[in-house]
Each structure stands twice: as C-alpha cells, then as structure tokens.
Structure 1
Amino acid sequence: MTLPVVLVGVVLVAMSISGTAVALPSIGRELDASGSPLNWVVAGYNLAFAAMTLIAGSTADRIGRRRVFIVAALVFAAGFLATALSPAILVTDIARIVSGAGGAGIMAAGGAILASSYDGAARNRAFALMGTMAGIGIAVGPTLSGLLIVATGWRGSFAVFTIIGLLVALGATRARESRASDGGPVDWAGAALFVVALALLMFALLEAPTLGWTHPVILITGIAGLVALVIFGFVQRRSPAPVLA
C-alpha cells in the first residue's frame, strides 16, 4: 500500500495547488469577497505549503515519517472540510492555510517514506513516479476541479478532497514506520524562525501590489522578515540538530 497511498497523496496536493483558483469566482460570489481577501484563498495555501515543507521533512525524520504523513493527511482533510463549510472569507483563508500545512507534510513525509521503503533502482522508479504524479496533478488540477465544481458546487469539490484525504490517512496506517537514526531533537527555534521569516516576506510581496511598496505595513513586515531570516541563519549555525542541515 505504501507506493499507491503516497502517490495518491501527491496527486491530491498537486491538484489542490493548481485547481483552487478555478473556484475563486464561485467563492467570491457566495461569500461576497474580492481583492486581497479572496486572493488569500490561494496565497494562504501556497504560503503555508512553502513555509512548512522544510519543517515537516525535518520533523518526519525525527519523530517518524509515517506518523507525520498520517497527521498531515488529517490536517489537510480538516482544512478542506472547514473550507467546504466556511461561512465567511476569513474562515476560508484560515482553513486554506491549514490545508497548505497539511499538504506540505504529505509531500515531505511522503518522499521520506519512499526513500526509506525502497533501495537502488526501485527507489529511482518510486521517485520518478512521484515526480510524474506531481506533474500530472498540477496539469489536470484546473480541469478536474472545474468539473467537480460544475457537478457538486465549490463546496462539494472541497468535500471530495476531504474524503480522499481521509482515505489517504487511513491507507498510510499500513505503511512501515521509519525515522532517522541520528536525527537528534527537533529544532523548534529554527522551525519557528523559518516560518515567521517566510510568512512575513511573502505577506509583504503579496500585499505590496495592493498597498504599495512604500506603505508602512509593507516596509515593516518586509524588514521584520529579513531580520528573522538573518536570525534563523545564526540559530542554524549554532543548533546541534538544525532544521536546515
């Protein structure tokens, strides 16, 4: 079950990256949202995915790859369920951030599971399949998401992703647990600094076209993000088990 479950998880995450934009017009009409709040339905997911991928991979090596994969799939499904039931755009944005964090865990821990489950040529084939399925998910995401929205509405399409995410979590319970033998403790300080730095920098970049590059909020968040990134570098150089090894 290991390879099929990981590949389904990869396709699901990839589709949710490229396909959500198709639902934005429907979400905007029903929740009376537009502009920046509506854009964060996509941006929030991408931000959380980018910020948490490194953290999820490092954590999986230390506390267990299967464990992180299962928890990530459940978080991913919970975020999609909250999106499907969302009464307001703010709730939708928060739910999408949750889904993005879960998606990062599926991708990072899924790759680690394959690396620990296969050797030699079999491992090369497994990773080739993983990359192929990720590409397919990105390519067909908008089309399949559009068909789901037509058939079930935008809320129904997110509910479908919820169900598949739960099935992925269930299937992952059959995978073999593994972890790095010399992983050391989790670098919580480095993890927190990385997430904060990336979140601040991406917020500044995403909101600058709307607010203006010289707006105080953009300047403050941008500078704070750079400072956090510099501190993150110092912390990593002194950590016994850095999150960015």
Structure 2
Amino acid sequence: MQTISHKTLILLTILLAVFVVPSSISGTAIALPYIARDLGDEASLLQWVVNAFNLFFACFTLIWGSFSDRFGATRALRFGVGLFLLGSLVSSFATSLIMLDIGRAVAGIGGASVFACGCAILVKSFDEKERLKAFAFFGTTAGLGITLGPTLSGLLIDSFKDIAMGDTIISWRAIFALHFIILALVLLLSKVLPQDSHDTQNEESLVKSRFDYSGAILFVLCIFGLMLSITRLSHLDSITLAIFLISLASGIALSLHQRRLHSLGHAPLLDFSLLKNKAFFGFSLVAVISGFSFVILLTYFPTFLQVVFSFSASFSGVFMLSLTTPMLFCPFLVGKLLSKGIDSRLLALIMSLMMSVGIFALLASLLLENESVQLACMILSLFIIGCGMGLHAGGIDNLALSSLKGENVGLGAGLLNTLRLGSESIGVALYASLMVVFIAMAGLTDSHTRALASGNIASLQDISKEILANIYQESFIYTLTICGILCLVLSLFVYNLLRTYELKRQS
C-alpha cells in the first residue's frame, strides 16, 4: 500500500504539469507584441504562435487518451511531457516565427497528454475518498494556471526585457524557459508515478478498442484546414477555397467513417450520434460559447490593452485578473447551486448569457468618455464573463455527461472536450483574422496592417499612436461584436435545445 507522502508526491507531479498547460495558453498571448518586434509581424505566422498550441492540443487530447489505455498512462505521460519540454526549449531559442510556431505545435501535442493521462493516473493512484480531494486540487491548479498565466508572463517580460544573452534579448523567451524548467522537474519527479500494469484484455476486445488512426488523421485534417482557411480570410483566393473544401471533405469523411465504426461495434474516435441527445448537445454548446468569448479575450485582450491604453506587459497581466480570478471560486459555487436545487437548464442559460451579454457590456464600456469610469466598467464586464466561464468550468461537464444516463459516457467526454477545444481554436483564429480584415479596411498598407494587428506599434513611427489606437479599437469593436452575436445565437440554441428536451421528457 502506498504511503501518504508517496501519494502526495504523485499529486504534486501531476499538478506541476497541469499548471503549465493553461498558463502556457493564457500567458503566451501577452507576449505577441514583443515576439512581433523580435521575429517579425507576419500576421498569419504570428497567429500560429497561439493557434498551433491550441490546435494540436485539441486534436491530440483524444489521441493521448487512447494511447493511455493501450500503452499505460505513466508511460504516455512521460513521453508527452518530454515533447512539451522539447517544444518549450525550441520556443525559447526560436530565431524565426516558423521555428516558434513549430515549437508551439510540439508543445501543444505534449501538453494534451497532461490532461488525458494525468486524470487516469489520479484515478489509479487514489481511492474514492482521496480522489475527490485530488481532483479538486487538479481543477484548482488548472484555474490558477489560467488566472496567473497573463500576470506571470507580463512580469517575466518586463523583468527580462533589457537583459541579453549574447545578441538576443531574453524578454518573452523567459516565459518558455520557465515552462522548460517546471517540465524538467516534472520528468525528474515522474519516477514516483505508478508503474503501468500489463493489458489483460482479450484479443477480441483489443480489436474493437484499437485506436482509430484513420479517424484521427481525418479529424486533424478537418480542424487544421478549417483554421488555416480562417487565417487566410484577409486575402480570399482559390488556395483558401481549396483548403476549406479539403477541410469540408475531411469532415464529411470523418462523420461517415465514425458512423461505420459505430455500426460495426467498434469504438469510434468521435461518436456524433450522441448529438441526437438534445440535453447533451445543449449543455455542450455552453462549452462552445466559452471558446468565442472568454478564450478570445484571454488570448488577445492583453494586446488590446497595450495598444489602446499603452499598458505595460506586467500591468496588462494584472488587469486580466478581472477576467481570470472567477476561475478560482466559481467552479465550487456550481456544486452548491445544484445541491440547493437550482434548475440545471436555467443555470446553463445563465452561464451562456453571462459570457454572451458580458461581451456587449465590454463593448459599451469602450464608448464611455471618462477613462476612470471606462476602466472600472471594463473590469466589471470582464469579471461577469469570467464568472460565466468559471460556472461553466465547474458544472457543464457533469450536466452534459449526466444527461447520457451512463450510456457512452467515455465517448461523450471525448466529444464534449473536442467541441470545447475545437471551438477555442477556431474562435481564436477567427478573431485574429477578422482583426486583420478590419484594420486593412482602414486604408493602411499591408506592412502597417500586419504590424498593428500584431500589436507591434513601436515599428510604426510614421503614424501617430493616437491614430493607430483608434484604428485598433474600432477594429476590436467590430470583431468582438461579431463574436458576441455568434455567442448570443448559440445561447438561443442552448435555450431551445434544453427546452425541447424538457417538453419531450414531460410528454
């Protein structure tokens, strides 16, 4: 029997890795203007500093889950953390945007293993009573990573912005260097993780549960093609159309392939038949809304603050606490609300509207003339959106999976996380592309458009900062309005699906 101290070390190892993943997502965006100054402001390549991690994280979460089942959770986690570490190392020493994008993609592939395999290790290492506390720490640590990511990154950038290593200013590289150090410690501590047991499944079970490589390839092609076509919105051409058609064809082929596997009794990578369950689909859409509201603000609002309000990186990070702090307490609030008998459909609608209407409250605050009042209203609007996200993070998985009544819960979890992570990746890509489109409509040259879209206004000395700030703010308002309308439409779908489900259940 394992000692308590041994279990504590297991938990500490997993939590260290868990902290790095969300902080890598939320903390990298604040560095984009500084990356643009050092490596160039090519908009499409700069977008992929964020998109590459999000995309590959989304695509490989399901894949690592399958690897964990077949090859062992500990073995898979070690290999994944090794990839994450390698990606962080490449990112730290990147000399071009392409090299940085590749590093971020590798980090995203490895980072996906932390959530997929880390949960499996906790289930294996702790009994039922201990498991509740372990997963509470797991969720809290993930919330801390999201909350402190922008603040910590901003402090690192400002602390190292004047420190050079040879001919290279450290600046934003310190973020990835910190990730490397923490992940190296995780690998050292991974010796305490439980050894993987041998698979005792019979041959027939192994065949039916074998990993769906064809589905994985089609899934990656579909999401990658969709994101790539979105990033090319600013210059629509035959290549963009071809990429979109490849994505569409891959999506159709994936759907047909998954239906075929389901009919044969094999475990599909994604079981789209679960979307016929209106309650599951309705609750899952709340996760999609978060990708087009909270996540895009978490990713790009720090750049907005630096361009429009001339905030430093560290102060922008502190300002973002108004958005991220609710992640520390709202997940616990959901359990209390549900235990007191609040209608789960009403709660889901509240989550959706807080993230949707919060966007329009933020937009309204930007129209105020008094800067002090404006900043106070911005903080309040971000806090409302953050609360909607925090409530969603604490309860939507439980509500969605409980609606399946024990049937295909594993596949349901996979589909839910795919919808969540896929919408986050697409939302971030859509926001960045729309910003480029609207900035270009202001009549700037291509080079000026790229620089302003990336937040690299230091290189635009031939145009006043006030003009650039106005163009950026107008483009931000147009872009966020589109995202807000999309979130409101999705909220109506949530209401309609859950209402239809309830009427059908009562009849």
TM-score by length of 2: 0.45
CA contact (8 A) 1:22 1:145 kept: yes
Structure of greater Rg? 2
Q: Quote the residue 1:175 is aligned against.
A: 193
What is the Cα deviation at residue 212 of structure 1? 4.4
Provide structure 1 residue ranges, at least 5 long, that are not aligned to the other structure. none
What is the Cα deviation at residue 94 of structure 1? 1.2
CA contact (8 A) 1:21 1:42 kept: yes
Q: Give, in whole Å, the separation in 1 of the partners of 2:155 and 2:128.
A: 40
The number of residues matched between the two structures is 244
Note the alpha carbon deviations across 1:6-47, whole angstroms, 9 max, x for none.
011111111001110011111111011231210110011000
**Mean Cα displacement is larger for which, 97-106 or 124-133?**
124-133
Instruction: Choose from 244, 251, 262 the match for 1:219.
Output: 244
CA contact (8 A) 2:44 2:232 kept: no
**Mean Cα displacement is larger for which, 81-90 or 180-189?**
180-189
Q: Give, in whole Å, the separation in 1 of the partners of 2:16 and 2:60.
A: 20
Q: Give, in whole Å, the separation in 2 of the partners of 1:138 and 1:27.
A: 21
What is the Cα deviation at residue 135 of structure 1? 1.1
CA contact (8 A) 2:85 2:179 kept: yes
**Mean Cα displacement is larger for which, 172-181 or 30-39?**
172-181
Note the alpha carbon deviations across 1:42-90, whole angstroms, 9 max, x for none.
0110000000001101111110100111111110010011011111111
Instruction: Choose from 7, 11, 16 the match for 1:3.
Output: 11
Instruction: Choose from 199, 215, 218 the match for 2:224.
Output: 199
What is the Cα deviation at residue 127 of structure 1? 1.1
Q: Quote the residue 2:48 is aligned against.
A: 40
Q: Does 1:114 align with 2:122?
A: yes
3-state secondary structure, aligned to 1:173: helix
What is the Cα deviation at residue 178 of structure 1? 3.4
Q: Give, in whole Å, the separation in 1 of the partners of 2:29 and 2:266.
A: 41
Instruction: Choose from 178, 181, 186 the match for 2:211.
Output: 186
Distance 1:22-1:166 versus aligned 2 partners, 3 A rule: same
What is the Cα deviation at residue 220 of structure 1? 2.0
Q: Quote the residue 1:161 is aligned against.
A: 179
Higher relative contact order (CA 8 A, sep 6+): 1
CA contact (8 A) 1:51 1:199 kept: no
Amino acid paired to 1:148:
L
Q: Give, in whole Å, the separation in 1 of the partners of 2:261 and 2:11.
A: 33
Amino acid paired to 1:199:
F
CA contact (8 A) 1:73 1:165 kept: yes
Instruction: Choose from 66, 72, 80 the match for 1:64.
Output: 72
Q: Does 1:104 align with 2:128?
A: no
Q: Give, in whole Å, the separation in 2 of the partners of 1:125 and 1:192.
A: 37
3-state secondary structure, aligned to 1:178: coil
- Identical residues among aligned pairs (%): 39
Q: Give, in whole Å, the separation in 1 of the partners of 2:125 and 2:51.
A: 33
CA contact (8 A) 1:69 1:109 kept: yes
Distance 1:211-1:217 versus aligned 2 partners, 3 A rule: farther
Instruction: Choose from 17, 23, 26 the match for 2:25.
Output: 17
Distance 1:83-1:144 versus aligned 2 partners, 3 A rule: same
Q: Give, in whole Å, the separation in 1 of the partners of 2:90 and 2:253.
A: 31
Q: Give, in whole Å, the separation in 2 of the partners of 1:191 and 1:221.
A: 15
**Mean Cα displacement is larger for which, 33-42 or 97-106?**
33-42
Distance 1:120-1:79 versus aligned 2 partners, 3 A rule: same
Amino acid paired to 1:36:
S
Q: Give, in whole Å, the separation in 1 of the partners of 2:124 and 2:237.
A: 46
CA contact (8 A) 2:218 2:250 kept: no
Note the alpha carbon deviations across 1:183-225, whole angstroms, 9 max, x for none.
7243333333332333223333x32543449942453233233
